[in-house]
Amino acid sequence: MTQHALPILILASALALSACASKKDVLPAESWQAAPAPAEAPIDQPGTVPPVEQVAPTTLSGMQADMVAAAGADIVYFPYDSYGLDEAARAVLGGQAEWLVRNGSVRANIEGHTDERGTREYNLALGERRANAAKNFLAAQGVDPGRLSVISFGKERPAVEGANEDAWARNRRAVTIVVSGGR
Amino acid sequence: MTERGALLAASGMHVALVVVLSLGISQVLPTLDVAPDVTPIEYMEIGPEPTATKMPQSSMEAAPRDPGPPPASMVPETPMPQAPAPPVVTPVPAPDDRAPQDAIAEEARRAPPPRAAPSRAKNSFDPGAMAALIDKSIPDAPVRPRDTSAFAKSIEQAIPKGARISPRQVATLEQAIRAQIAPCWNPPIGGADVAEMTVVLKIRLNGDGSVAAPPEFVSQTGASAGNQAYARAFVETARRAVLRCTPLDLPADLFAHWREFELNFDPRLMT
Amino acid sequence: MVKSRLMALLLLAAPFAVGVPAAAQLRVDITSGTQAPMPIAVPAFPTGASAPTPAGTTVELGRQVAGIISGNLQGSGLFRPLGAGVFPVPGVADVQRPQFGAFRSAAAQALVTGFVTANPNGTLTIGCYLYDVFSEEELMRQGFTVTPAGWRRAAHKCSDAVYSRLTGESGYFDSRIVYVAESGPRTKRVKRLAIMDQDGANHRFLTSGQSLVLMPRFSPVNETISYMSFANDRPRVWLYNIGTGQQEAVGTFDSMSFAGRFSPDGRTLLMSVTRSGNADIYAYDVGSRRSTRLSSSNAIDTSPSFSPDGRQIVFESDRGGAQQLYVMNADGSGAQRISFGDGRAGSPVWSPRGDLIAFTRMVGGQFRIAVIRPDGSGERLLTDSWQDEGPSWSPNGRVILFSRTERNGRTTLRSIDLTGRNDRRIPTPLDASDPAWGPLLR
């Protein structure tokens, strides 16, 4: 028995340590482009970044449809360079708030987006302002803010392509995504 | 003529000379066809036909180099052929046909300058039209013939060689040099502090216009400890401009005046 | 009476004795010239005896080195190289004693020549000589010993030596550019980090495109890039050592961080961190991993950039109502607005030369690259297209790299000289954006 104790001890500690490793905040594995590395500056080194489990929340599409049916939409729109909520936006968010209160177990992730007519950094911040505006409204309507998270995509994820007023208007939005899963 | 009269005339002419030299002949007589890079001169439109007949003030300053009474009516806006013969100082080769305009130049500058300068530059020289404008009622100034006595000759010889070029010829020479050197100069625009830099090079030429010696550095402004590399590059662009565009094509009769001269490179119009 | 006449004559002649100043004092002012690229001869570099190397024979390398130098000098917009095909390959003896006649008749003003030698230990020695064609004097000579894999760098270093000797600028050819390579439809764009030499060679991708990546920036002192990644749906700034491949998240912020940019000494990373819908500027100490907040307005403060002496920071803020440029001290105090006039101003970058700040000027829907002095004076618009944004300076503060988006959605990299000339495309294998010019390599 004791001759197995040491290997078991080692195995046990290795398992314990690997569990710690999975909690460290590292990027998911990227598959490197194979390329001949020059002698002076090796860049592509497969395997130097440790793999990680997926911890991102997953979207629940059935519940999303449910919320849309109840609130009328999962998207609200904004005027150019603004993060103010107009009548229509408030009505939609009000409906979402009611639904979220009724379905107390789900969480929601609010995405903020902008049109392309701004510098990249500024638009990331503006998208965050829009997402926050929606979140604050929902919280004011009684949704526990702990269930709400925000993320901004700036101008990186337009809903429609096009360089015209219609496309731009449809890209200036905050989207409420029903999610489950932990952070 | 008394000594006193001559003294007055001499001082008047001294004053005239000083005024002429300090104001700069080149502004008054730009007749050479110059490249666009040269300093532009303000032109003013004054209408299709000059018609003013104002007479100049009669004064010692306005007089031509003759000690006689004021000359025939001078129309300030237009060049006139009727002025008295040119003064004694002429270059050893044949006198310049257009030398009479020296006197006109001083005359015209006493008239309103903006009107005088452009018209002379713009209008072509038409003696017939000019003659029609002269007020014949005023007596012509007497023409003093050149005194060819030995005494006069010795005075001529006593005058330094350098004095035998007229201010107008200086201007012509400057224009010619500038027109040939400027297009060859590529200053390092965009370099730090280049806008504040200038450099003076001394140039020595052979009779055929080629360089007799490499351009010699005389002085530079705008260089500091922090911009040494730009300062050096700046001087080299000036040197290269000279070496690139020599031999220069300049009037052989003025060789004495362009065998050695200085070039001041100043990119202020470009930066 | 005669005496009186004599006196009169003498006095009359007196003014003309003065006459025009003597010829030696004739000084002609040259007050303008022309802005034209300098013709420069770059014939192929000769080699003693052709030897094979892992990078090709030395004869081929001699041709290619001259080609790289020509390409660099041409790309700067300040030179017009005469090389390939115009001159025969010189002999090795001609390198130290060139025959200037041929170059003079081709109207070249300078001559670049050198040689390629394979050394017994496997390295290459590349010589680099610069001559003035008119005065026939040698202006500069340098030699480089490189491994066969690094021969391009010797050509870039030779280009830098030639360029800086003739213009007075410091060089920028031996450097790299990192950027975001884009592909796919705009609604589902795939973005990958990519790196290449400033002339487009040695291109490789650094990430797979699995996560959205933005705003890569070089450290001035080592092989580290800061960039922003949306991995794990947590948008934040990462430090990525491209030598070892190691990555590390910057700070432990709960919210989004972005717009990272290194200080000139590489020890601090400036970035924006959001807080309740606003964004503040933070300074992250790379060594101690500690963050300090520098700005705390109820506004979006972003795009920070240090001055080259590390004492000031330029950034964009909408604290006045719309995006404008502000300059503050490195400790966050004393912020002053420097941009005025039509429209908005954003994404400022301080030139490594310290004399200018490049930024994006937005009027109506049009974005243009502009430069302005740090005191706010002398604003000049350099480009005129639909959407030009995200400027980045070359290491010598002379050339600005930026990204151009066309109405049809295509995005490309372009560069322009600070005088507004030589607007040219930088070719990339895919669409490209967010370029950042790295430091001169050592």
What is the reported pLDDT for B131?
57
pLDDT in tens, B212-269: 999 999 999 999 988 899 999 999 999 999 999 989 999 888 898 889 999 999 998 7
pLDDT confidence of C32, banded at 50, 70, 90?
Answer: confident
Q: How far is residue B93 from each of residues A96, B90, B103, measured CA to CA in Å?
A: 104, 8, 20
Are B160 and B252 part of one and the same domain? no
List the alpha helices (DSSP H) in chain A.
2-23, 61-71, 87-102, 120-140, 165-171
Q: What's the 3-state SS for B52-81?
A: CCCCCCCCCCCCCCCCCCCCCCCCCCCCCC
Question: Looking at the complex, does the CB of residue A164 fall below 8 Å from at least one CB of chain C?
Answer: no
Same domain, B89 and B192: no
Asked, for residue A36, whether it belongs to a domain, the answer is: no
Q: Which of C85, C78, C52, C81 is nearest to C68 (CA)?
A: C81
Q: What's residue B6's pLDDT? A: 72
> What pLDDT sits at residue C413?
98
Q: Is C192 helix (H, G, I), strand (E, B) or coil?
A: strand
Region(s) of chain C under CATH 2.120.10.30? 176-437
Instruction: Tell me if B93 sits within 8 A of B166, measured CB to CB.
Output: no
**Which chain B residues are Cβ-neighbours of C135 within 8 angstroms?**
214, 239, 243
A7 in any annotated domain: no
| Chain B residue numbers touching C27 (CB-CB < 8 A) | 200, 261-264
Q: What is d(CA B106, CA B8) in angstroms, rounded to the nearest whole number?
A: 18
Which pLDDT score, from 0 to 100, does residue A3 have?
A: 58
On whether both B106 and B152 belong to a single domain, the answer is: yes
- List pLDDT tens digits, range B163-193: 567 888 888 899 999 999 999 999 998 888 8
Give the C window 239-298 contacts with B, CB below 8 Å: none
Q: Is A117:A164 a contact under the CB 8 Å cutoff?
A: no
| CB-CB contact of B29 with B109 (8 Å) | no
Average pLDDT over residues C25-50: 91
Q: What is the pLDDT of residue A182?
A: 45
Give A18: exposed, middle or buried? Use CB within 10 Å, 0-12, 13-18, 19+. exposed
Evaluate if residue B46 carries a pLDDT over 50: no
Query: For residue A51, is it within any domain?
Result: no
Phi, psi of C365 (to 5 degrees): -100, 10
Beta-carbon contacts of C180 under 8 Å, excluding residues fewer than 6 positions away, are C191, C192, C193, C194, C213, C214, C215, C216, C432, C433, C434
CB within 8 Å of C4: residues ≥ 6 apart: B1, B2, B3, B6
Instruction: Mark whether B14 and B60 lie in a shared domain.
Output: yes
H/E element, C313: strand C312-317
pLDDT greater than 80 at residue C155: yes
Q: B14 pLDDT band (50/70/90 cuts)?
A: confident
- C-alpha–C-alpha distance, residues C103 and B26, integer Å: 39
Q: Give the CA angle between residues C298, C301, C305 to the nearest 5°.
A: 155
Q: Test C167 with B188 for CB contact under 8 angstroms.
A: yes
Give the pLDDT confidence score for residue C187 in this predicted structure.
92
CA distance C66 to chain B (A): 23
In angstroms, the Cα distances linking A113 to A82, A125, A129, A151, C177 are 11, 10, 9, 9, 29
The CB density around residue C14, as the number of other CB atoms within 10 Å, is 15
CA–CA separation, B35 vs C28, rounded Å? Answer: 15
Peptide bond into B30 cis (omega under 30): no
Domain presence at residue B173? no
pTM reported for the whole predicted model? 0.74
For the segment(s) C176-437, the CATH number from 3.90.1300.10, 3.50.50.60, 2.120.10.30, 3.40.50.300 is: 2.120.10.30
Say if residue C1's pLDDT is above 80: no
Q: What is the CATH number of the domain that holds A137?
A: 3.30.1330.60
In a domain, A129, yes or no: yes
Q: Do residues B161 and B259 lie in contact, with contact meaning Cβ atoms separated by under 8 Å?
A: no
Residues B201 and B125 in one domain: no
Q: What is the pLDDT of residue B53?
A: 45
CB of C246 within 8 Å of a chain A CB? The answer is: yes
> Confidence class of residue C243 from pLDDT cuts 50, 70 and 90?
confident
Residue A28 inside a domain? The answer is no
Q: In what order do the strands lie in the sheet with C312-317?
A: C301-306, C312-317, C324-329, C336-337
Q: Which residues lie across from C258 on neighbouring strands? A: C272
Overall number of domains in chain B: 2
| Nearest chain B residue (CA) to C105 | B244
CA of C318: how far to CAs of A125, C299, C301, C339, C430, in Å? 11, 6, 7, 12, 34
Q: Do A132 and C233 touch (CB under 8 A)?
A: no
**In which residue are the tokens 């005065």 written?**
C135
Residue C141 belongs to what H/E stretch? strand C138-146
Specify the pLDDT at position C407: 87
Chain B interface mutation, best of C1, C6, C25, C30, highest count of B Cβ atoms under 10 Å:
C30
Identify whether B175 is part of a domain. Answer: no
Which residue from C20, C109, C419 is facing B170, i.e. has the nearest CB?
C20
Start-end of CATH 3.40.50.10070 domains in chain C? 38-167
What is the overall mean pLDDT for chain C? 92
Domain CATH code at residue B244: 3.30.1150
The predicted model gives C285-306 an average pLDDT of 95
Instruction: Evaluate whether chains A and C are touching (3 or more beta carbon pairs less than 8 Å apart).
Output: yes
- Distance set, CA B209 to CA B58, B185, B243, B254 (Å): 45, 18, 11, 12
C2 touches chain B (CB under 8 A): no
Is C17 at the interface with chain B, CB within 8 A? yes
- Is B176 a member of any domain? no
Does residue A90 belong to any structural domain of this protein?
Answer: yes
Q: Reply yes or no on whether the pLDDT at B104 is more than 60.
A: no
Does a structural domain hold residue B243? yes
Neighbours of chain C (3+ CB pairs under 8 A): A, B
Instruction: Judge whether C340 and C347 are in contact, CB under 8 Å.
Output: no
- Of B66 and A122, the one with more pLDDT: A122
How far A102 CA sits from the closest chain C CA (Å)?
A: 26
Q: With an 8 Å Cβ cutoff, are A38 and C150 in contact?
A: yes
Say whether C291 sits in a helix, a strand or coil: strand
Domain count of the fold of chain A: 1
The DSSP string of C97-119 is S--HHHHHHTT-SEEEEEEEEE-
Question: How many inter-chain contacts (A to C, CB under 8 Å) are there?
Answer: 149
Assess contact for C221 and C229: CB atoms under 8 A: no
Using a CB–CB cutoff of 8 Å, tell me whether A87 touches chain C: no
**Is B153 contained in some domain?**
yes
Query: What percent of chain B has pLDDT above 90?
Result: 25
CA nearest A112 in C: which residue? Answer: C277
C38-167: CATH topology: Rossmann fold (3.40.50)
Closest CA to C251 of C264, C243, C239: C239
Task: Kindly state whether C25 is in contact with chain B, defined as any CB-CB distance less than 8 angstroms.
Answer: yes
Report the SS3 class of residue C307.
coil
Q: Is residue A65 part of a domain?
A: yes
User: What residues contact B93, with CB distance under 8 A and at least 6 apart?
Assistant: B253
Q: Mean per-residue pLDDT for C152-180? A: 96
Range with lowest mean pLDDT among B18-32, C57-71, C258-272, C298-312? B18-32
- Residue of B10, B173, B263 lying closest to C30 (CB–CB): B263
Task: Please check whether residue A170 lies inside any domain of the structure.
Answer: yes
Could you tell me where the beta strands, DSSP code E, fall in C31-103? 38-41, 52-53, 56-57, 79-82
- Residue C432: exposed, middle, or buried by beta-carbon count in 10 A (0-12, 13-18, 19+)? buried
List pLDDT tens digits, range C201-237: 999 999 999 999 999 999 998 899 999 999 988 999 9
One-letter identity of residue C170 = S
For the ranges A167-176, B95-104, C140-149, C267-276, which has the lowest average pLDDT?
Answer: B95-104
Write out the residue range of the structural domain in which residue B207 sits.
185-269
The shortest CB-CB distance from C23 to any of B187, B258, B265 is to B258
What pLDDT, on a 0 to 100 scale, did the predictor assign at position B257? 87
Segment B118-170, tens digit of pLDDT: 444 444 555 555 556 655 555 555 555 554 555 555 554 554 554 567 888 88
Pairing between β-strand C79-82 and β-strand C38-41 as defined by DSSP bridges = parallel
Chain C residues in contact with B240 by the CB 8 A cut-off are 109, 132, 134
Q: What is the extent of the structural domain holding A131? A: 58-180
Element at B176 (helix H, strand E): helix B167-181
Tell me whether residue B145 is exposed, middle or buried, using C-beta atoms within 10 angstroms of its C-beta: 0 to 12, 13 to 18, 19 or more.
exposed
**Local mean pLDDT, 10-residue blocks, chain A (183 residues):** 58 51 42 34 38 55 88 94 94 95 92 94 96 96 94 96 93 93 46
